[in-house]
Amino acid sequence: MCWGHNNRSAMVRVPMYKPAKGQSTRIEVRSLDSATNPYLAFALMLAAGLKGVEQDYELPPGPRTTCGRSPRPSGARSGSSPLPQSLSDAIQVMERSELVAETLGEHVFDFFLRNKRQEWEEYRSQVTSVRARPLPAGALTPTACSVTPRGPRVGA
């Protein structure tokens, strides 16, 4: 949860500005997961950025060191809170966000939350059933865990 000029470890990176190439100035958002819906993610990022500009939010200073390697306890970086550690935690954060609700609209906001709650419950039930299942005898022996090479069968 940090940004920085030319800092490759930051979630939001502002590469070095070159006066001769003013048109090539950009911002890199490095935090999106491949499972992210890009339309919703970019809509929310644009809405957050516009709100920051409209309400004249002050940008906290970027870190002087690599992001995530601060000597302070987790979540103490620049007054930020830690990122959610599970989908359930992320859903709870999203439920409280007026910005997300306003940006997505009530219908999409409610549908998205309902969908993610269902995904979380399905995941939890699968994890619980896997943990409850006993391993068959000999399941973790070196022979049972070895990989057999695949290739053309001779004499088949």
Asked if residue 74 lies in contact with residue 2, where contact means CB atoms within 8 angstroms, the answer is no
pLDDT bracket for residue 135 (50, 70, 90):
low
Query: Which residue type sits at 35?
Result: A
Q: Where are the domains of the chain?
A: 81-132
More confident residue, 29 or 149: 29
The answer, yes or no, to whether residue 117 has pLDDT greater than 60, is yes
HEC sequence for 89-143: HHHHHHHCCHHHHHHHHHHHHHHHHHHHHHHHHHHHHHHHHHHHCCCCCCCCCHH
3 forms beta bridges with 12
pLDDT at 76: 44
pLDDT tens profile 59-113:
888 777 777 655 554 444 445 567 888 999 999 999 999 999 999 999 999 999 9
More confident residue, 105 or 6: 105
pLDDT at 57: 92
Q: The whole model's pTM is what?
A: 0.66
pLDDT bracket for residue 11 (50, 70, 90):
confident
pLDDT at 142: 56
Query: 140 is written with which tokens?
Result: 């973790």
pLDDT tens profile 19-70:
787 777 788 888 788 888 999 999 999 999 999 999 999 988 877 777 765 5
Query: 92 is written with which tokens?
Result: 């709870």
pLDDT at 74: 45
pLDDT at 154: 53
Q: Which residue in 37, 34, 16 sits closest to 103, CA to CA?
A: 37
3-state class (DSSP) for residue 61: coil
